Amino acid sequence: MTVHRSHRSHRSYDATTAGLVRHSLAVLRDGRHPSGAYVACPNYPTYQYAWLRDGSFCAYAADLWGEREEAAAFHRFVARTVLRHLGREADSGRAEADLRLPTRYTLTGEFEPAGAQAWPNFQLDGYGTWLWALRDHRARGGVLDDEILRAAGRTADYLDATCALPCYDCWEEYGDRRHTSTLATLVAGLEAAAELLGRPALSDRAAGLRAELDSAAHLGDAGYIKHDASGGVDASLLWLALPFGVVAPDDPRMTATAERIGAELTGPGGGIRRYLGDEFYGGGEWILLTAWWGWYRAALGDREGALRAARWIEAAATESGDLPEQLTATPQFADRVEPWTRRWGPVATPLLWSHAMYLVLADALARL
């Protein structure tokens, strides 16, 4: 495929970024399967699947940088996958509210093979994120055919039926809780579907979820909290402002949340951690979350803060320019790095979601 770079050349704010932007776009292209699916990581066995959440942000980044057909191929993959499985599940006679679609699929859109490593499956954020990304794709000139719109309708029905249920969060943890960042994806997804499909009842459903977000279960005295049984913060709470727009970046509820994230989750190296107590590879500093932090700072007009995040990410790249999932030089739990490395191997590198979020940050910086 032809990569349209020339009209983007003025967007780079220095030579370092230009190089990593080009490489990040190449990582996304190389990581897209012929089916249209984005692999989470091409050389990390546990991540050789397609997550709708990760892929939606990869498609969003591709759209930002003019790679329209790259994004379109992903959306066609999701549409085929959703129609195949929601149709098959519905034919089984089960009610929509009883369905539990997986958080990840094979690269050809199938359920994980029997006997493969078990993975927490019931997780809704990817489906809401896809609907949001689909609307954004159309707004940028993408064409949504009848199959895609049918899939959007089935996905919206699925979320309408299941959005009141507890599910796993975006990190595949705490499956018995109501997660604040997951609710943000549901609000954004249902509102997007209402617009795409001309179904105002979906906006009413989203409004109910917005009201839940502002209840004591999700909003404390110091901003939004991780889930309905935790008073802590999670870096994914930045999603409420960007990109899902549940609250404005400068809304006092959001700024209070961001102050806690910055104070509690910035690691000694300068990157952003997921949450306090995270033991996955020791709970290091994540590339994609640091990019999100920079994106949020850019939305507030804080160019220096956004630039610091970008520079930290650029320094974390390997010699070939690949970005890992996280850095483990300064983990929360040093004794948990080696057991995870022994179990699954070194930290996933390159992680496509990391490259996607760096591209989002680079775009935000270029617009300041």
Where would I find the H helices in the chain? Answer: 15-30, 52-64, 68-91, 125-139, 146-162, 180-197, 200-213, 252-265, 287-299, 303-316, 337-344, 352-367
What's the distance, CA 206 to chain centroid? 19
Q: 191 an active-site residue?
A: no
Of 169, 191, 228, 322, the active-site residue reads: 169
**Residue 70: count of CB within 10 angstroms of its CB:** 22
Q: Is the omega angle on the peptide bond into residue 350 within 30 degrees of 0, that is, cis? A: yes
What's the distance, CA 351 to chain centroid? 12
CB 341 within 8 A of CB 328: no
Q: 169 an active-site residue?
A: yes
Please state, in angstroms and rounded to a whole number, the distance separating the CA atoms of residues 204 and 113. Answer: 38
Of 172, 173, 195, 279, the active-site residue reads: 172
Q: Tell me the residue type at 297.
A: R
Q: Could you tell me which residues come within 8 angstroms of residue 249 by beta carbon, excluding any fewer than 6 positions away?
A: 241, 242, 255, 296, 299, 300
Of 63, 67, 285, 325, the active-site residue reads: 325
Please state, in angstroms and rounded to a whole number, the distance separating the CA atoms of residues 129 and 319. Answer: 32
**Smallest Cα–Cα separation from 109: which of 36, 26, 13, 204?**
36
Q: 69 an active-site residue?
A: no
Instruction: Return the SS3 of 315.
Output: helix
Residues assigned a catalytic role: 169, 172, 325
